[in-house]
Structures are given as C-alpha cells and as structure tokens.
Amino acid sequence: MNNIQHLVAGIKIGTACTGLKSTDDLTIFELATQSTCVGVFTQNAFCAAPVTISKQNLAATSPRFLLINSGNANAGRGESGLQDAMTCCEKLAQTSNCKANEILPFSTGVIGEPLPTEKICATIPTALENLIEDGWQQAANSIRTTDTVDKIASIQLNIDDKIVTITGIAKGSGMIRPNMATMLAFIATDADIPKDILQNCLNQAVEQSFNRITIDGDTSTNDSCILIATGHSKQTIDNIEHTNYKQFCQAVTDICTRLALAIVRDGEGATKFITIVVEQGNSSKECLEVAYTVAHSPLVKTAFFASDANWGRILAAIGRAEITNLNTNIIQIYLNDICIVKNGELADTYTEEAGSKVMQETDISVRILLGRGEQQEKVFTCDLSHEYIQINAEYRT
C-alpha cells in the first residue's frame, strides 16, 4: 500500500529490540497531555491479558503511553499473564514518571507462552530514548508477526481552513476475523474531539472496515483498535451534529478501510484478493451471513487458489447460510461481470472459458443477488493456499 505518512502533532513513537525477534519488536507511543483515547477490542472470551488491562485503564484515566510488544501474545496465561502485563506497565511508568494505569499494553504473537518481562522491561528505556515524531514506519514494522509488509495509511483534511491529520498503522495477516484479526491497529489525529464523540466515530469506522474482512474466520484473543485525538490542530468537533463530524468520521473510516484491505492483501499465503458483495437481502444481517458463509468456505477458498471456476462450491455455500425461506429459484451469482448462475441454475450465457479467465485474475468479485429486499453488504477475503497451511503448521517451530 501507499506508505505516505503525515506526522500527527502530539504523538511520539519509539521502537527497540528485546530479542524476541531479530528486528525491533517493542513499540512505545507517547501521547500528549490531555489527549483523548478510545478503543474497540476483541469479543473472544479468552481475551488476552493486555486487552483486559487496556480496557480497564482506558475506562479509568486518560492514557499517556501505549506499550506494544510483538512475538508473544500474553494470552491464555490467566492471572500470571495479567501480572506480567502489569509488571511491564509499572516499569514504563517508573521510567517515564507517570502512573501505571495511564499505560495501555498490547501484545501479539504466540498464545500460551510466558511473557518475557525481563527482556521487555530491560528494553523499555531504549524505546523511550528513541521517541521521535517521525516513528510511524518503524512502529509499523515493529508490530508485525507473520505480516510480509508494513501497513500504514495517512491523510490530511482541510476543515475550516485548518489542516487535520489522521495517520494509522496496523498489523495482521492470519487469525483474522475481527468481531468488534491477530490484528492490532493504532490511529491518531491532531483534531480535538471529546471521548464519547471519538468513540462513536471509531465504532462506525470499525464496523465498515475491520469488521468486513476475514482471512480464515478466526477471531484473535488480542484484537485491538485504538484511536487517539491529541487536539494539537485546534480543530474542535464536539458533537455528532457538528457540521464537520461527518467529514472527519468518513476520513477515519477511509483510513481503517485502507488498513483493513491491506491486511487481506497480506493474508498468510494469499494469492487472490476477493470481494464478496451480497445484494437484494432483507437485512444487513442476512447479507453478511451469506457473504461470510461463502468467504469462510474452505472449498470456495481453495477453488480460488487453484483458479478453478467451480461455481457449485459458491452455490452450495449460499444454500447452507442460515437464511430463513431462501428462494433459490431467483438467486443470481456473478464472477466479476460474468453471470454464472441465473434463477438458481447455470446461466445459459455462461461458458467455462469465461469463468476460468476470471479465476486467473488476482482481484476477483463475487456478486450474489438474493432477490429478497433492498439491503446489501460487502466482505473482503482471500484464497486458501498451501503456504497458509505451512505458515501456521510451522508457526511455533
């Protein structure tokens, strides 16, 4: 993706190497005093220790620092995991002269292994010494696990003759189906926005971006998306009726969408980027039910990897979606602009040659018309390759 980055006044970022990886694997965000911070987190019942602590601290105070380690998820560790996360927060608090509950911890990596607190605590001073405003690229690289590319998105808006910046980074490549993927995202703006308004904006943005992607249907224990507003641009948006709220919120959604799509394109072993559009549904919910049933089908995903126009796999997936009284006799299915199914059966105009030609492409759209209503939804996914299996089979070895 285009890694142009605009610096966000009021944000400094430092990275360092703890030894968990061969490159920098510890990242610290320093937030300007009085910054507003909100988040959206995993709904996995086995949420990781840093998620639990971040949610508690976010509710109790205004954060001054984000502390992110990659290479270890600190999940599935019970009380010891919570204590390990707190130990790292306390070390950063002591070193930076703030309170431990003013720190939000985040972790990503292997589940179930003890967090190497000694290595992290020993490296925190170095990361603090490395704090710079121009640290977004280093941070994007530092938070990666199986990612093959950095994921950065940045835009600037002109609002009432004031330039407002929004910049974000994300990591994620596998274990991706956010239900708010392993996914972390950190986005910052220099706009001045109250916490409740900022939370409303993030909720809308996440619902239309990170909650519309899937690699493998697995929701991680560690998913977190954080939005920070430093207020340094002096552009205030203090309610959802504000004339500039819609413009700002759309820009945040655009940033989240660009990061989300970059995650899909970097899906573990992915060779195809697939957009699934479900139209003419009775509700958004049933459109998403159909879209995700198709997106999560291993048979559909492997057919895309093989460039095999096996349209019957798509049809079968639609048929097993949990939709009441689905009339299969009126359903239409398209691969890009090629109609493969009309009125519930193979279209008279379809040829195997045309279908196979579409399946050779790297960007493919599956369009499904249910003929039940006026709602539509869109989901983004990828194929399932040999490499995905190899990456995950060897993840801990």
Q: What positions carry a catalytic annotation?
A: 182
Q: Which amino acid is at 228?
A: I
Contact 335, 355 (CB under 8 A): yes
User: CA-to-CA distance for 273 and 94, rounded, in angstroms?
Assistant: 46
Strands annotated E in the chain: 11-16, 26-31, 36-41, 65-72, 103-110, 151-159, 162-171, 184-189, 224-229, 273-281, 332-335, 338-342, 345-346, 363-369, 375-382
Determine contact, residues 294/366, Cβ cutoff 8 Å: yes
Strand pairing partners for 271? none
Residue recorded with tokens 């690699």: 215
Our measurement of the distance from residue 79's CA atom to the centroid of its chain's CA atoms, rounded to an integer in Å, reads: 27
* Residue of 239, 359, 369, 379 whose CA lies nearest to 302: 359
Which stretches does DSSP call E strand in 75-215? 103-110, 151-159, 162-171, 184-189
Residue with token string 């968990």: 20
One-letter identity of residue 377: E
Contact in structure between 132 and 13 (CB atoms under 8 Å) = yes
DSSP SS3 for 387: helix
C-alpha–C-alpha distance, residues 125 and 143, integer Å: 18
User: Are the CB atoms for 165 and 6 separated by under 8 Å?
Assistant: yes
Structure tokens at 337: 């602009």
Q: How far apart are the first and last CA of the chain?
A: 30
